[in-house]
Amino acid sequence: SAGLELSINNHTADFTLSTLSTGPAISLSCLVHNSSQAEELLWYRGEGQVGLKDGNKVNISNICISPVNESDNGVTFTCRLARDKSVQVSVILDVKFPPKLSGEETLHVEEDKDVTLTCNSKSNPQAQTTWYKDSHDLTLQQNRHELYQTSEIFRLSIRKVQKSDNGTYTCVVESSFGNGTRSFHLIVEDKKPVFPKEAVIAAVVVVTITILFGIVARKDKFFKVW
């Protein structure tokens, strides 16, 4: 296989191909260069081999990716020479897609409890997030509000909610390919009275001791009846 070379869509070196998740199908054509005989070609998606029909394996081989979706983002397609798999060339798909985020949720939280609002959304390129309260920019209070963000998770935590925290919180996720939103209707309820467990335990103990004393005081009558 010395001197043999492969190309995908006229690229002899590994390359990245950008496309849209809503775009047309992708055609990849692998071609053998400097061949003096028939050479069989193999295609791989990641580590898995792609099945090819007869007549689409020798010296030139074509595959089609349709439809293209977000699960194809970052996937590597590799063309290899069957008799010498070290002869290969790869293409990495860079699939652009907007954040997918929608809907609303109502949360009932007791006053002085903590609450966390979470938006889960993937996008390529990575999106930026802004939080709003009642359609206005959310004013973050130190030690009460905390923001957490990764490429897929956007989280707002509020410590010890107060009645002033009542309202609609909106997570707006924006990228160059589109936006997504999700709303949370936060309802802060009155604190529930704490049930006095210690008092109940003490009462049970007192009643139990009273019963025992009563039994001891009347033990002679019990034995006589027996």
CA 125 to chain centre: 15
Residues 10 and 33 in one domain: yes
Q: Give how far Cα 41 sits from Cα of 33, 34, 53, Å.
A: 12, 14, 11
Q: Which of 62, 97, 132 is the endpoint of a domain?
A: 97
Closest CA relative to residue 130, chosen from 182, 93, 193, 87: 182
Residues 125 and 81 in one domain: no
Please check whether residue 69 lies inside any domain of the structure.
yes
Residues 45 and 108 in one domain: no
Cis omega before residue 24 (within 30°)? Answer: no
Task: For the chain, report the end-to-end CA distance as a whole number of angstroms.
Answer: 107
Please check whether residue 114 lies inside any domain of the structure.
yes
Closest CA relative to residue 33, chosen from 92, 89, 91, 93: 89
Q: Which of 49, 80, 97 is the endpoint of a domain?
A: 97
Please check whether residue 50 lies inside any domain of the structure.
yes
Please check whether residue 67 lies inside any domain of the structure.
yes
Residue 143, phi then psi, degrees to nearest 5:
70, 0
Closest CA relative to residue 14, chosen from 85, 88, 95, 96: 88
Residues 88 and 109 in one domain: no
Say which CATH number the domain at 87 has.
2.60.40.10
The alpha-helical segments, DSSP class H, found in 13-119 are none
Buried b (16+ CB within 10 A) or exposed e, 198-224: eeeeeeeeeeeeeeeeeeeeeeeeeee
Residues 78 and 125 in one domain: no
Q: Which of 66, 97, 128 is the endpoint of a domain?
A: 97
Q: How many CB atoms lie within 10 A of CB 22?
A: 13
Domain range enclosing 71 = 3-97
Closest CA relative to residue 121, chosen from 105, 137, 103, 135: 103
pTM here is: 0.72
Residues 88 and 111 in one domain: no
Contact between 44 and 77 (Cβ < 8 Å): yes
Residues 153 and 181 in one domain: yes
pLDDT of residue 224: 58
Ordered per-residue pLDDT tens for the chain, 226 residues = 678 999 999 999 999 999 999 889 999 999 999 988 999 999 999 999 999 999 999 999 999 999 999 999 999 999 999 999 999 999 999 999 999 898 999 999 999 999 999 999 999 998 999 999 999 999 999 899 999 999 899 999 999 999 999 999 999 999 998 899 999 999 999 988 765 566 557 666 666 666 666 665 665 654 555 4
